[in-house]
């Protein structure tokens, strides 16, 4: 039986709300963690991961003095020699396409690079139809590299998008 972990950060606000919505859709199949509750050694116990994050500026990602937990998480994975070969990772990202249309869900691109460095296979691209933004580092062609969500302006679409995305993942063997 495949084991799925849903892991997200930050623990409050839109990312947390979206993570809970996704978990409710597959709670019988997935364990649920805030990033601060997820130990790097737990990676070995799972085959599939859904990781979620908000979009923050690149300076925040690289500054170890911020409250963001992602870069310390990846650094510890590297330091511990933990690899993710044979593991599949699907990403969801939160953004605000109205206030930050040039950087909509950019955070997923950073996560993708970090997980690929660890050897994980990143899956679960999502069409960019139905959004109004001008730029995103998480866009490849006409698809986002993961599920793009805007809880500020399209929160009424989150659950339906997540349900369709999870169905797509399941068809891909996730």
Phi, psi of 29 (to 5 degrees): -115, -10
d(CA 97, CA 134): 8
Domains of the chain: 4-171 (3.40.50.360)
Yes or no: say if 32 and 22 are a contact pair by the CB < 8 Å rule. Answer: no
* pTM, 2 dp: 0.91
Site of tokens 């599939």: 48
Question: Model confidence at 2, in pLDDT bands (50, 70, 90)?
Answer: confident
Question: Model confidence at 66, in pLDDT bands (50, 70, 90)?
Answer: low
Which tokens sit at 47? 């085959």
Residue of 57 and 55 predicted with greater confidence: 55
Question: Model confidence at 55, in pLDDT bands (50, 70, 90)?
Answer: confident
Give the tens place of pLDDT for each residue, 68-112.
789 999 999 999 999 999 999 999 999 999 999 999 999 999 999
Nearest to 38 by CA among 69, 2, 75: 69
Give the tens place of pLDDT for each residue, 38-50.
988 899 999 999 9
pLDDT of the residue at 12: 83
Residue of 148 and 13 predicted with greater confidence: 148
Q: What mean pLDDT comes out for the span 140-166?
A: 97
Which tokens sit at 51? 């990781």
Question: Residue 47's Cα: distance from chain center in Å?
Answer: 16
Yes or no: say if 148 and 128 are a contact pair by the CB < 8 Å rule. Answer: yes
């Amino acid at each position: 039986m495949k084991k799925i972990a849903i892991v997200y950060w930050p623990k409050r606000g839109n990312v947390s709300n979206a993570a809970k919505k996704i978990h409710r859709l597959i709670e019988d199949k997935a364990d649920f963690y805030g990033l601060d509750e997820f130990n790097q050694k737990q990676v070995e116990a799972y085959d599939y991961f859904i990781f979620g994050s908000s979009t923050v500026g690149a300076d925040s990602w690289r500054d170890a003095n911020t409250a963001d937990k992602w870069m310390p998480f990846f650094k510890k994975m590297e330091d511990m020699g933990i690899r993710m070969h044979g593991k599949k990772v699907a990403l969801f990202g939160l953004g605000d396409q109205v206030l930050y249309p040039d950087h909509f869900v950019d955070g997923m691109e950073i996560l993708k690079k970090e997980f690929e460095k660890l050897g994980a296979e990143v899956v679960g691209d999502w069409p960019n139809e139905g959004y109004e933004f001008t730029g995103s580092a998480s866009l490849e062609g006409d698809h986002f590299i993961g599920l793009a969500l805007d809880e500020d302006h399209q929160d009424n679409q989150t659950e339906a998008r997540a349900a369709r995305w999870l169905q797509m993942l399941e068809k891909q063997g996730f």
